Amino acid sequence: PSTEVSGETYIIGTDTTFAPFEYREDGELTGIDMDLVRDIAASQGFTVEIQSLGFDAALQALQSNQVDGVIAGMSITDERELIFDFSDPYFDSGVQMAVAEANTEITAYADLAGETVVAKRGSEGETFANSIKDEYGFTVKALADSATMYDDVKAGNSVAVFDDYPVLAYGINQNNGLKSVTEKEQGSSYGFAVNKGQNPELLAAFNAGLAELEASGAYQDILDTYLDAPA
């Protein structure tokens, strides 16, 4: 355990409804990110106070130093590396499109012409949707969290959602009323973030704890717990 973080309490911001990375079960925050940050804190001797803020709100809270770190299935991107410092990557992800289960009209981006899609404000999904909207002639509506986006598609207010594929796949596997019809896009890996130049000891402790969990097999056990769970 690192002595610099020992006995410290860090406030960690996260997303609200991003299963299997962070979500509530019986009122308790759970998921891969939650297990990861709690196990790392325990092994490195620090305490975490987790705040379920929402994705964009968590990033803003980090920028204004209202939280010490963010773990939220947050992709390590070049733009973000200008303002945040990231841990070593811990999960490879990417964006995918999903539509309502009953929808037979939309099977490709080309079918989105004249339609509205949803993506999460401030997310890679939003960036990707915006990057192809002119080419395919659709409108992108930004919402704050995944559950609200999925409801918007199911209610028919938008025809498709762009979100991270492991999160879409987890929901679809639980029969959430959506389906994927296109391949996933090449994406970035998730990392734990601190504000640029802030809390370097926390970042170092996270990396040390992550390396230990990977070496011991405990990290794989966490993934298996959430990703192989039957619907």
Query: What's the Rg (C-alpha) of the chain?
Result: 18
The alpha carbon of residue 224 and the mean position of all alpha carbons in its chain are separated, in whole angstroms, by: 18
Helix or strand (DSSP H, E) at 120 = strand 116-120
Pick the stretch among 83-91, 103-111, 117-125, 206-214 that binds ligand GLN (CB under 6 A).
117-125
- State the nearest-atom distance from the C-beta of 155 to ligand GLN, in Å: 20
User: Sign of the C-alpha dihedral, residues 188, 194, 195, 197?
Assistant: negative
- State the nearest-atom distance from the C-beta of 74 to ligand GLN, in Å: 4
Structure tokens at 211: 């390396």
Among 72, 153, 168, 205, binds ligand GLN (CB under 6 A): 72
Considering the rule CB under 6 A, would residue 158 count as an interface residue with ligand GLN? no
Rounded distance, CA 28 to CA 87, Å? 25
Rounded distance, CA 224 to CA 206, Å? 21
Residue 88 CB partners (closer than 8 Å, separation 6+) = 191, 207, 210, 211
Among 36, 41, 57, 74, binds ligand GLN (CB under 6 A): 74
Among 15, 35, 39, 152, binds ligand GLN (CB under 6 A): 15
Rounded distance, CA 149 to CA 87, Å? 28
Rounded distance, CA 70 to CA 72, Å? 6
15 vs 111 by CB, closer to ligand GLN: 15
Considering the rule CB under 6 A, would residue 75 count as an interface residue with ligand GLN? yes
Considering the rule CB under 6 A, would residue 56 count as an interface residue with ligand GLN? no
**Per-residue contact track with ligand GLN, 170 to 209, x per CB under 6 A?**
----------------------------------------
Among 17, 30, 52, 123, binds ligand GLN (CB under 6 A): 123
Nearest CA to 125 out of 55, 68, 24 is that of 55
- State the nearest-atom distance from the C-beta of 225 to ligand GLN, in Å: 19
Structure tokens at 160: 């498709």
79 vs 134 by CB, closer to ligand GLN: 79
Three-state secondary structure call for residue 48: strand
Among 87, 93, 195, 207, binds ligand GLN (CB under 6 A): 93
Pick the stretch among 39-47, 110-118, 119-127, 211-219 that binds ligand GLN (CB under 6 A).
119-127
| Residue ranges binding ligand GLN (CB under 6 A) | 15, 18, 55, 72-75, 93, 120, 123-124, 164
